[in-house]
Structure 1
């Protein structure tokens, strides 16, 4: 078991995670940006459509999981680092797509995060990266919470507040 000082920022799509991660980064904290968003942005920059990028849910989810694993292997365990979506998020996404979650579950059992900050949902806004709708977001919200709880993590719920107040809330609960 790899015990870390890392803090996961998680929650359903459109819950304000990226805004807080960027705020923490501007304040000088070390952060890890969301692997899925990066993969989608890179695909779009290469001329692919969102449909093409996510054509095979299994391939896409495995690619995201592998990106997280590769990145986390390089991180110092004693440093406070804020991660936009941890390995357990992959469990929820595998389940969401009807895939066997054993692969991400096996990896999630080998790392222990210091804190899990679960962001309450904000009003839904579609952007060029998201392809979910409010119903799927609600289901993902439940699956994400369940993934962390199954692994025995206490969840720190971050309420809907202005972005700066949410950032302060996270820092005050380290």
Structure 2
């Protein structure tokens, strides 16, 4: 088993804030690959709308980045992941896309110490987050279903202040 902890939840649930606070406390963390992929595409001259118009390509790009990162991590190191491979399955389902074979294969081998699913905060739109409240809630439900179907521990993290959420997580390692 790895010593990795997944931080996940629907859009605008405080994942990145939580992961950044964990990093500030000295823990190894990862980045959210969907946002990173969009940023790289924007640097290459594409708009968010252009990237999102090709959802299968977008989802596969995010998955490839996630797979590469997880393959490079030391399984014995304590790492907090800002989303993980199973998140991709939830997004494929949300978009009514047939899951990529690479995703299905990867899901057979995922091995996380614990997944922390953050309860939703009020939706805050930004350049990368295009979902409305209904989509936010549906994605959150799908993420919860995907992770709860895996044979790995899942902990729901209630809405608390950012520092209290971090402490809630650390108390459950």
- Which range, TM-score by smaller chain? over 0.9
RMSD: 1.1
The aligned counterpart of 2:55 is: 57
Contact 2:113 2:153 in 1 (8 A): no
- Per-residue Cα deviation, 1:64-92 (whole angstroms, up to 9, x for no partner): 11101111111000111000111100000
Q: Distance in 2 between matches of 1:91 and 1:135?
A: 19
The aligned counterpart of 1:124 is: 123
**Total equivalences in the alignment:** 172
Shift of 1:129: 1.1
Secondary structure of 1:170's counterpart equals: helix
The aligned counterpart of 2:166 is: 167
The aligned counterpart of 2:112 is: 113
TM-score (norm. length: structure 2): 0.95
The aligned counterpart of 2:14 is: 16
Contact 2:2 2:112 in 1 (8 A): yes
Contact 1:32 1:84 in 2 (8 A): yes
Shift of 1:150: 1.7
Shift of 1:15: 0.1
Contact 1:4 1:111 in 2 (8 A): no
> Runs of 5+ in structure 2 lacking a partner?
none
The aligned counterpart of 1:142 is: 141
The runs of at least 4 consecutive aligned structure 1 residues that moved more than 3 Å come to none
Q: Distance in 2 between matches of 1:153 and 1:75?
A: 19
> Runs of 5+ in structure 1 lacking a partner?
none
Secondary structure of 1:157's counterpart equals: strand
